[in-house]
């Protein structure tokens, strides 16, 4: 048996090349929940404000109970997209509520305004459901609460709006992913956690 002494370094004591090695290690520890949870929770809150109900799944709790949480899947790779089932009905005051929650997000405001416009043409009686699956294949069914026929453009308008909302979610996921993987964020987390490294940037 022998004892080997080795010098260890804080992140800011490393050379530039060793810092790059340390960053590479830390990025490998980042999980989807580290950047996605807040984005998806926010998206679900906004969806409820304008009458969109996203499908849920049952999550077991440590105490033995369970709760429902939005079932949203996503891929930020080459086939990037956001996937969920949904149902939609008109919600009075939706646009004002969304503007109150996300006042500067004009892209989001337009989605909700477009939904309200097609609802107005149908006397606010539209209801719809479907699935966002990928760029080329989504499903959508539209009818009216008063059993009258929807306007001819209702199906396409609603489907387009929900798809745009899925793209809005995807864009925010990508932004958050880019941020948590940025040098600025990675360096800050390494410093906060006081990780130590070898001179070559290997984690100790």
Closest CA to 175 of 56, 36, 52, 73: 36
Whether residues 21 and 40 share a domain: the answer is no
67 membership: H or E segment, kind and range: strand 66-70
Domain count, the chain: 2
Whether residues 88 and 188 share a domain: the answer is no
Determine the structural domain holding residue 8 and report its residue range: 1-30+183-204
Whether residues 196 and 176 share a domain: the answer is no
The pTM assigned to this predicted structure is 0.90
Per-residue pLDDT of the chain (204 residues; tens, 9 = 90+): 777 678 999 999 999 999 999 999 999 999 988 889 999 999 999 999 999 999 998 888 888 788 888 899 998 887 788 999 999 999 999 999 999 999 999 999 999 999 999 999 999 999 999 999 866 678 999 999 999 999 999 999 999 999 999 999 999 999 999 999 999 999 999 999 999 999 999 998
| pLDDT for residue 59 | 83
Neighbour tally for 36: CB within 10 Å: 19
16 membership: H or E segment, kind and range: helix 16-27
59 membership: H or E segment, kind and range: strand 56-60
């Amino acid at each position: 048996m022998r004892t080997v002494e080795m010098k260890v370094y804080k992140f800011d004591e490393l050379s530039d090349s060793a810092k790059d090695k340390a960053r590479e290690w830390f990025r490998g520890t980042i999980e989807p929940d580290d950047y996605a949870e807040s984005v998806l929770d926010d998206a679900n809150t906004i969806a409820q404000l304008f009458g969109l109900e996203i499908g849920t799944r049952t999550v077991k709790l440590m105490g033995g109970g369970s709760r429902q949480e939005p079932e949203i899947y996503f891929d930020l790779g080459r086939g990037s997209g956001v996937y969920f089932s949904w149902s939609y009905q008109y919600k009075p005051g939706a646009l004002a509520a969304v503007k109150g929650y996300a006042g500067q997000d004009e892209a989001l405001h337009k989605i909700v305004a477009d939904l309200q416009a097609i609802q107005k043409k149908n006397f606010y009686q539209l209801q719809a459901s479907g699935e966002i699956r990928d760029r080329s294949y989504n499903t959508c069914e539209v009818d009216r609460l008063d059993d009258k026929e929807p306007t001819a453009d209702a199906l396409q308008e609603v489907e387009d709006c929900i798809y745009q909302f899925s793209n809005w979610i995807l864009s925010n996921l990508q932004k958050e992913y880019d941020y948590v993987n940025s040098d600025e964020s990675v360096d800050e987390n390494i410093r906060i956690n006081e990780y130590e490294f070898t001179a070559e940037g290997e984690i100790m």
